[in-house]
Every structure is written in structure tokens, then in C-alpha cells.
Amino acid sequence: MKIVIIGGVAGGMSAATRLRRLRESADIVVLERGDHVSFANCGLPYYVGGVIPKRESLLLQTPESLAARFRLDVRVRHEVVALDTERRTVTARELDSGREYTEPYDELVLSTGAAAVVPPLPGAERALVLRDVADVDRLVEAAADARSAVVVGAGFIGVEMTENLVRKGISTTVVERGAQVLAPLDVEMAAPVADEMRDRGIRLELGAELTRIDGDTVTLSDGSVVPADLVVMAIGVRPESALARAAGLAIGPSGGILVDDRLRTSAPHVYAVGDVVEKKDAVAGESTLVPLANAANRQGRLVADVIAGLPVSDPPAQGTAIVGVFDLTAAMTGWSEKRLRAAGRPFRAIHTHPLDHAGYYPGAVAMSVKLLVDPETDAILGAQAVGGEGVDKRIDVLATAMAGGIPASRLMDLELAYAPQFGSAKDPVNMLGYIADNLRTGAVGTVQWHELADAIATGAHLVDVRSPEEFAAGSIPGARNIPLDELRARASEIPAGPVLVFCQVGQRGNSATRLLTQLGRDAVNLDGGYQTWRTAAPILTTRLIKPLFT
């Protein structure tokens, strides 16, 4: 059996090595257009910033090491230019010599990845991207002399690039067409990341686009000119599906190769994995792009099993992702609120701001966590978290709970490892479960930060149940202060009509809401409390955000 694999990074190389472990006798050829295989693509920004000091750390394998260990025929700088699925051959071009040759296959795996999108702007040829080792070499060279940089796109890679340019002492501006950084997150969850970036001296130009790139500046859509010795394009990636398309393979709605749950394309004996394929979404089952290294690795191993005849299938994708931004971490799994809204799908949102570990143990820091729940089934639809220590843990636990079909309200039952330096007796994840359970059973109703204005407009009385000191330090306009501990005695001070209660993070508000409800009042709690509101409310005035919530 002869297997040809096109693309020798995450998905392709996982497929090749697993295939060797399953089929010692197979001929396995890996054709890689670039100079390197199996490099650490997620480490590239950190090499630019000097966090990873040595270039060789990025190069995990070489064609020689792969030949020795796995008897793989790995050919770098060989680009596949044509695919004939009838004759089962590919045409490869040796880039150094220009020689073209035909390589037959019994089974073919496409792992061609995705390319950075570079819009056709004047001066676009000066824009750098960051997908492979050649890119990083160009970037490191350009960064050596640069005093200013513009990063276009504030997605995960744009944010990582920005952090690392700032580490090199380069004055950096981020230009993002959307109204927020980290578009996969919801706006109120991304806001702390934007604040952190601004605190580090980064200029954020949200709702802005580039119109041209000149010698050492760029021009934005509002006409302003920004210094830019260096321009990095990080507005997104596009599946490298041209070869597949030219060969007549079915392409999905997002431009990726269509595969079934055994990673088979529309052509017999042709499989595809990684960033180039459309994956089945875990929430809605729709076809979606999830360009993540871990997903590519997983699919690479899986396609080897499929080719070897094992009874496996590719599970749907949640799209769990994480990014470090200086001292902050932001992470998510599943769907965001905005995605649910855009799809017209009903949901409940929960915000909370727990400490990463017990407050009485030194060093506890707050994080913000958001959970999205299906109101019919109690299923977890998605989760987001932003903060310091422990954000990665909570998103991993929530991603696992989602994968395991644990209902949102049962998160309260999870037995998570507790000692005061690691968590709380009621872990942030358990707290989400308690809140979800209160919502599910109707024990407490909540109002979202963006619903507050409407609630007040319809006559709700706003009651801040925090301490007088907290109230004095800043509250929501129009609120009266009745501290929770006095509420039982002073409830009659609240005029007749609906009551909207809030505290700092939602927990005292929950007790207050239960108390008022039991006193016969029509009371609801502000979800996530003053903290969510304070983070999010200013954003509501942004022209690009407002339509989402009205």
C-alpha cells in the first residue's frame, strides 16, 4: 500500500507517524511545500518575542529524523500542483529545480492547512504574515530594526503577535475592523483583554480598517496615518483548498474541503484533515472551520486509523481555544452569545466573577466566567473565561463537561480537587452549576447587563445591596443602596413595582432576590452584578455593538 500525504505539519505528520505504527510495510510519502515539517506553529509568535529564545526549538522533526524513526519518505520544498483522482496520482513540483513528476497513490491524505488572508491593498506586498518558519524568519528580521508596528486583526494570532512585538520594545497599533478584540468571545468578556492591551501601551483602533500601506506608515479608513515600520496581517486564515477544488472535490460553504465523519472527501481514496477541512460543529451540527493545531493532530491520527480500517469516527468540534495576553488569559469553548443570537437560538447567559482559589489563601485573583445554557435541555452550549491563574483549568473542565453531556445545573455536583491554593470548596465551575440550577428551577430570575436600561424604563426599581462603602465608590445611576444585611428590615422602603437587585458579582444579589421574592416582591437579579455591568455597559454605546442587543 502506498500512501501519499500532502502537507507535513500537524495533521499530515500525525497521520504519517500513526500510519507507520499501524502499517510497517506501507510506503508513506509526505510532500511538503515549505522548508520544514512538523514545526511548532503555535510557538512562532513567542519566538518573535524572544520568549522562545532558540529557533531550533521550533523544529520538532526533520525529514532525516522522520526517515530514521518512522521510515517516512518526507520531501520538503515539493509542492503538489495537480491531483488526478481517477488515475490516483498527484503531480509534484520540486521547488528548487522546477522539476515536475507524477506520484501515484493508493490512499491520499490532504493536509494542506490554511493560508493567512492578505487583502489586496495598495502596499500589501509589505505586509508580513505568520504561518510557517519562513514567515517567522522574515518577521524576526523585520522586527530587529522596527520601532513601530501595526498588527491588522485582533484575533487570537493578532493578539499573540502584538504581545510579542511589545516585548521587543516595538510601539504597536492594532487595527481591528470589529468593535472588540478576540471576536470569538462575547464583547463583555473581551473587554478586559482590550483594557490590558491598552494598559501595556498598545494603541487599539477598533472599528477601523487599513486603506493603504506605505513605506513606514499605514493609512486607516478614517484617514489617520499610523507609523508602521512593520505590518503584520492577522485578519484570519482561508483553507488551502485550491488543489482539492481544481480536482473536483466537494467544497463546503466556508471554502474548506467537505469530509464525512471518517474524513473521506467526495473522491474515493482521498481523505483530508486539519485546517483545510470543514468540521461538524458540536452545538448545531453545521459545517464550520476550526483552524486549531490540536484538532489537526487529532484528525491526523484518526485518518490513519480510518485508512488502516479501524472502526473510528471524527467527533464534532467544540472549538476550545485559549490565548495569553500579558498577565491575562482568555479562553472559550462551544458557542458564544453572539453566535447563538445570530443563529436565533434560545439560550440563558450566566456571568460570574469568582476567585481562582480560596479568598483566605494568599494570591487569589478574580476571573470572569460566562456560561451559555440551552433553556430547554439544560445543555451547556458554550463557556468563556478571562482572568489570570486558573482560567485554563475552568475552560478545560467546562469543555469536558460539555463533551460528556453533563447538564449545566449538574456542574454543581462535579467533584473537583479542592485545597485552598488550588480552588474553592465551591469551585467556580460548581458555582456556575448552582446559578444554572437556580435559573432552571425558577428560584431566581436574572436580567442581563444589556437589558438593564429596558428594565428601568419599564419602571423597575434599582437596588444596590452592596455595602455603603461599595456604593459610594461607584454604582449604577438611579440605584438606591440598601445593604443586603439591612434588606429584610428595610424592604418596605422600595416602592411598589418590580425590583432589580444587584451587588458586586451577583452572589449577594441572589440572596437579596430570594428574600424579596419570598416577601412577595417581583424581584430579579442583575446577572454578574455591578462588575459585569461596569465592564460591559460602556460598550453598549459603541455603534458597532449596539445593533447586536437591540
- Shortest separation between residue 360's beta carbon and a second copy, angstroms: 4
CA distances from 300 to 12, 112, 310, 348, 366 (A): 6, 12, 14, 36, 38
Helix (H, G, I), strand (E, B) or coil at 121: coil
| Nearest-angstrom CA–CA distance, 49 and 430 | 37
Binding mask 88-127 for a second copy (x = CB under 8 A): ----------------------------------------
Within 36-75, the residues that bind a second copy by CB under 8 A are 40, 42-43, 46, 51-53, 57-58, 60, 65, 68-71
CA distance 1 to 455: 68
Cell of 333: 469553548
Catalytic residue among 22, 27, 42, 79: 42
> Which residue from 149, 165, 406, 482 is in contact with a second copy, where contact means CB under 8 A?
406
Q: What are phi and psi of 302, to 5 degrees?
A: -65, -40
Nearest distance in Å: CB 83, a second copy? 27
Query: Over 11-57, what HEC string results?
Result: HHHHHHHHHHHHCCCCEEEEEECCCCCCECHHHHHHHHCCCCCCHHH
Is residue 140 part of the contact set for a second copy (CB under 8 A)? no
Say how many residues touch a second copy, by CB under 8 A.
90
297 binds a second copy (CB under 8 A): yes
Name the segment binding a second copy (CB under 8 A); options: 88-96, 133-141, 286-294, 492-500: 286-294
Contact status: 430 vs a second copy (CB under 8 A): yes
Q: Are strands 237-239 and 100-104 parallel, antiparallel or unpaired?
A: unpaired
Q: What are phi and psi of 177, to 5 degrees?
A: -65, -40
Pick out residues in 455-514 that bind a second copy (CB under 8 A).
484-486, 488, 510-511, 514
Instruction: Give DSSP secondary structure letters for 398-465.
Output: HHHHHHTT--GGGGGG------TTT--SS-HHHHHHHHHHHHHHTSS-EE-GGGHHHHHHTTPEEEE-
CA atoms in the 13 A half-sphere facing the CB of 283: 25
Q: Which one of residues 97, 441, 458, 541 is an interface residue with a second copy (CB under 8 A)?
A: 441
Strand blocks (E) in 95-147: 100-104, 107-110, 114-116
Query: Minimum CB separation from a second copy for residue 252, in Å?
Result: 20
The region of 187-195, 199-207, 252-260, 419-427 touching a second copy under the rule CB under 8 A is 419-427
Among 231, 295, 536, 540, binds a second copy (CB under 8 A): 295
Residues in contact with a second copy, shown as a per-residue x/- string from 356 to 375 under the rule CB under 8 A: --x-xxx-------------
Question: Using the 8-state DSSP alphabet, how is residue 281 labeled?
Answer: B
Q: How far is the CB of 374 from a second copy (least distance, A)?
A: 16
Q: For residues 337 and 347, is the Cβ–Cβ distance under 8 A?
A: yes
Residue among 93 and 466 whose Cβ is closer to a second copy: 466
**Closer CB to a second copy, 127 or 237, in the complex:** 237
Nearer to a second copy, 234 or 244 (CB): 234
Please, are residues 54 and 68 in contact by the beta-carbon 8 Å criterion?
no
Q: To the nearest whole angstrom, how small is the minimum distance from the Cβ of residue 421 to a second copy?
A: 5
Q: How far is the CB of 279 from a second copy (least distance, A)?
A: 11
Give yes or no for residue 237 binding a second copy (CB under 8 A). no
By CB under 8 A, residue 30 contacts a second copy: no
* 42 catalytically annotated: yes
Helix axes 529-540, 187-199, angle to 10 degrees: 80
Piece of 94-102, 111-119, 258-266, 315-323 that binds a second copy (CB under 8 A): 315-323
Binding residue for a second copy, selected from 403, 537, 544, 548, defined by CB under 8 A: 403
- Active site residues per annotation: 42
